[in-house]
Amino acid sequence: MSRLTVTPDTAPGQPELRTEDAAVIARTLQAIGVRFERWDLSIPVDPDAEAETILAAYRPHLDRLMGDTGAGTADVIRLRPGNPAYPAMRQKFLDEHIHTEDEVRFFVQGAGNFILHTQGRVYDAHCTAGDLISVPTGIKHWFDAGLEPHATVLRIFTDTTGWTPHYTGDRISTLFPAA
């Protein structure tokens, strides 16, 4: 189940809001410019299918979304337990950073936490299958899929080089563990 926890950035462990109501999550995140919505998961596609099959199944949603955002391409990323490259990849995700384009993700399967740091607050958005999140350019954030990830996620890009993380050097992410 999707969940949002909002905490002052000076008070780890003392949340001001914790909700699993998708409408409240969407309104709260919209207030900081973050798009959150739930998509239909009744689309018959195996999350372990070939990337092209998954992309084709979600093409109507992707076309609408890419038209809204000006994005030009989408791909599929799978995070699975036992991947020997995952610990290093996870460490890169865990450090607070920004991007020069929106970071748009749709969870086909599994879960992960987008943790956003803005306006003196930390917004921990626990996204699950069916969730779309779009983190705007320049919003400080980090991501955690946990120690044993199991997720299939669509990534939407305007320019894949825009997704390069630019680290802030702030160690706040160590004060707000997600998984």
Residue-wise pLDDT tens digits, 52-83? 999 999 988 888 888 777 667 889 999 999 99
Number of domain units in the chain: 1
For the domain that residue 76 is a member of, what is the CATH number? 2.60.120.10
The residue type found at 152 is: T
Q: Is residue 61 part of a domain?
A: yes
The pLDDT, as a whole number, for residue 32 is 98
Residue 163 has pLDDT above 90, yes or no: no
Q: Is residue 26 part of a domain?
A: yes
The pLDDT, as a whole number, for residue 161 is 66
β-sheet bridge partners, residue 142 = 115
Per the CB < 8 A criterion, the answer to whether 145 and 105 are in contact is: no
Confidence band of 162 (pLDDT split at 50, 70, 90): low
Per the CB < 8 A criterion, the answer to whether 109 and 43 are in contact is: no
The domain in which residue 38 lies consists of 3-173
**Mean pLDDT for all residues in the chain:** 91
Of 174, 124, 136, 140, nearest to 16 by C-alpha is 124
Q: CA 78, 84, 87, 92: dihedral to nearest 10 degrees?
A: -60
Q: Is residue 125 part of a domain?
A: yes
* Chain CA centroid to CA 108, Å: 12
Task: Specify the range with the lowest mean pLDDT, choosing from 38-52, 100-114, 155-169.
Answer: 155-169
Residue 89 has pLDDT above 70, yes or no: yes
The pLDDT, as a whole number, for residue 160 is 66
Q: Give alpha helix (H) positions in 95-178.
A: none
Q: What is the average pLDDT across 113-137?
A: 96
pLDDT tens across 8-63, in order?
999 999 999 999 999 999 999 999 999 999 987 788 889 889 999 999 999 888 88
Q: Is residue 55 part of a domain?
A: yes
Q: Is residue 179 part of a domain?
A: no
**pTM for this prediction:** 0.93
Choose from 67-76, 111-120, 162-171 the range with maximum mean pLDDT: 111-120
